[in-house]
A and B are shown apart, each in its own frame.
Chain A
């Protein structure tokens, strides 16, 4: 983001932002501490942020601890991703009412309320909620995940109308990450810890002698909001302090997933014994995919009411780890845990590139932390890579 437009906000200024947005009738959704985790919910004041809390994340484990300071954003990402807001677990698609008048003329409009499908049903598409939402505290990995979901849900052959409406209503106040967890690897996937684009405003929390935020503008709407907030122009020292904090986060993460040649590595090892090993550990519980900010698999659920005259169709989160997901006429194609884990891993890290032009992984680490048995995809990839390199070494030595 450009630094010539950057300015410095004091903590109180964030409250001004929240109240300004709420005054416009917007929802402000932000991290809050609930059920021993940092989750997302609507807030009425910045005092509801998990101020002074820090998360300790390892494979299959998440604990909150006091930091001993007043940091607003001193934790990494929690179990919720912004997918919950933009691509919610259940979304109404349409309802159909039987009107008992089967038309002989084929489909046509009926009084603007829906479309008569010609078989005696009036079909009414669901209307997405039109309320604006501001997302406060969005990390770089999560902005990257939104861009990935945009490519899948907006820029393909089929546009998801519910997603389009929600995405258009979203205002993104991002925060450069200065508190990565051990499970984070955005520095490996090139999606963080600094936000490069895709946000209306970008904040960096600076926690040296005086607690302040460097604010950078991403869009015109972001600039207009910032104009309403008490601030001062950023000085080189502010910019340098913010850069140091982000750089420290990058160093702390290091590179824990080697993406070099990843596509061919995985697709060249589809029968690797490590996949049998992971199948023994995998619960196929779907936690990784539902916590993932880019996974977009859904099913369609039809329900009928008591009268038998009204049917409703709902888009519901699904997962490639369920048997039902691969069900087609004639049966299910991925009946083993091995087949399902392989499908997920190779899609995230290899075939997603062929399909959508980027990795399907943003390095947020949710699939690692929120796996009840702590399966770490970095370790699985590393094991396959080590074996491949050892094999190449053996081959080289035998020549």
Chain B
């Protein structure tokens, strides 16, 4: 296997769901291993090959002083660094603490908070080191992960559109739920990639792929209000999986 590019998969503060997307590739996984060598991936193998690594996938956000140091070391040993998932690209659900008192939260949650050594905030990887590609989503799309790896191996640009979920609904032929049913949907401000999964099942998008390019959250929130959706529901909608992404956080703050 000598000569194949080396892949490392790193975990920071996260649920492991995004790195499992790589194992979830199943049928594609074995052929992929003909082109890339897994050098570090504790979820999959005990093998640990030293760096430097050609490609590093980084899952999770930075929430401890130890992680803040470790991400620097990962960056130093990686040729291409790809942040994967809502945690790594925005800070994730755990960034809810960014607008609360961390010490107070720790006292409520842990019997012995004195053992914790945690940062005030949960922050995305890009707040600490340079990131080459970001794959948004909670969890990420298997297809986007594979395409990004193949793009890096081939030397082409990954197909990671930054446009809205609406494009995916329209391409699938799913009629707009806001228009036909008057329900709240974050699709118009959320980045595509999920294949418009929720609207396909008559559920409004809840923004787990994070903000699209230049999202007009104020106009969408205004329409939600016209549809009779209360302000606290608007605030919660923007403060879920990617609530620490600046556009969503600011819109959420405007509503409570």
Interface residue ranges, A against B (CB under 8 Å): 35-37, 39, 60-63, 78-80, 84, 89-90, 280-287, 290-291, 301-308, 316-317, 319, 321-324, 335, 337, 369-370, 372-374
Contact = CB atoms under 8 A, between A and B. Distances in A.
- Residue of B172, B178, B215, B218 with most partner-chain A CB within 10 A: B178
Contacts of A63: 180
B7 to A, nearest CB: 14
B160 to A, nearest CB: 10
A287 B173 contact: no
Interface in B137-191: 146-147, 150-151, 153-154, 156, 159, 161-164, 166-167, 170-176, 178-182, 185, 187-189
Interface of B: 28, 31-32, 34-35, 146-147, 150-151, 153-154, 156, 159, 161-164, 166-167, 170-176, 178-182, 185, 187-189, 202, 213-216, 218-220, 222-223
Contacts of A374: 223
22 contacts: A36-B175, A36-B180, A39-B175, A60-B178, A62-B180, A84-B173, A89-B170, A90-B171, A284-B214, A285-B167, A286-B167, A302-B159, A306-B32, A307-B35, A317-B171, A322-B161, A323-B213, A337-B214, A372-B176, A372-B178, A372-B223, A374-B223
Nearest to A80: B173
A373 to B, nearest CB: 5
Contact of A35 (B171, B175, B187, B222): B175
Nearest to B199: A35
A322 B213 contact: yes
B220 A284 contact: no
Contacts of A372: 166, 176, 178-179, 185, 188, 220, 223
Contacts of A303: 147, 150, 159
Q: Is the interface of A mostly helix, strand, loop or mixed?
A: loop
A284 B167 contact: no
Contact of A308 (B154, B162, B179, B219): B154
A136 to B, nearest CB: 18
- Residue of B167, B179, B219, B222 with most partner-chain A CB within 10 A: B179
Contact of A37 (B147, B180, B218): B180
Contacts of A281: 216, 219
A39 B164 CA distance: 22
A302 B163 contact: no
Contact of B162 (A62, A282, A301, A324): A324
Contact of A284 (B146, B176, B185, B216): B216
B194 to A, nearest CB: 15
Contacts of B175: 35-37, 39, 62, 78-79
Given A306-B32, A319-B163, A322-B163, A282 B171 contact: no
Nearest to B27: A306
A302 B156 contact: yes
A290 B220 contact: no
Given A284-B214, A303-B147, A304-B151, A60 B179 contact: yes
B173 A285 contact: no
A35 B167 contact: no
A286 B219 contact: no
Nearest to B189: A283
A312 to B, nearest CB: 11
Nearest to B213: A323
A373 B222 contact: yes
Given A60-B223, A284-B214, A39 B173 contact: yes
B216 A307 contact: no
Given A287-B176, A319-B163, A373-B219, 5 more contacts: A284-B216, A285-B188, A304-B156, A308-B154, A322-B162
A283 B213 contact: no
A61 B177 CA distance: 10
A333 to B, nearest CB: 14
A369 B175 CA distance: 11
Contacts of A302: 156, 159
Contacts of A323: 162-163, 213-214
B162 to A, nearest CB: 7
Q: Which 5 A-B pairs have the closest CB atoms?
A: A290-B170, A89-B171, A285-B188, A37-B175, A306-B31
A291 B176 CA distance: 10
Contacts of A370: 176, 179
B220 A35 contact: no
A324 B163 contact: yes
B225 to A, nearest CB: 11
Contacts of B161: 322, 324
Nearest to B223: A373
A185 B215 CA distance: 30
Given A324-B161, A372-B176, A287 B154 contact: no
Nearest to A84: B173
B147 A290 contact: no
B95 to A, nearest CB: 25
- Residue of A302, A372, A374 with most partner-chain B CB within 10 A: A372
Nearest to A88: B171
B163 to A, nearest CB: 4
Nearest to A375: B219
A317 B151 CA distance: 21
Contacts of A304: 150-151, 154, 156
Contacts of A285: 164, 166-167, 187-189
Contacts of B218: 280
Given A36-B180, A324-B162, A372-B223, A317 B167 contact: yes
Contacts of B146: 306
Nearest to A332: B213
A319 to B, nearest CB: 7
Contacts of A321: 163
A126 B188 CA distance: 33
Contact of A283 (B35, B159, B181, B220): B220
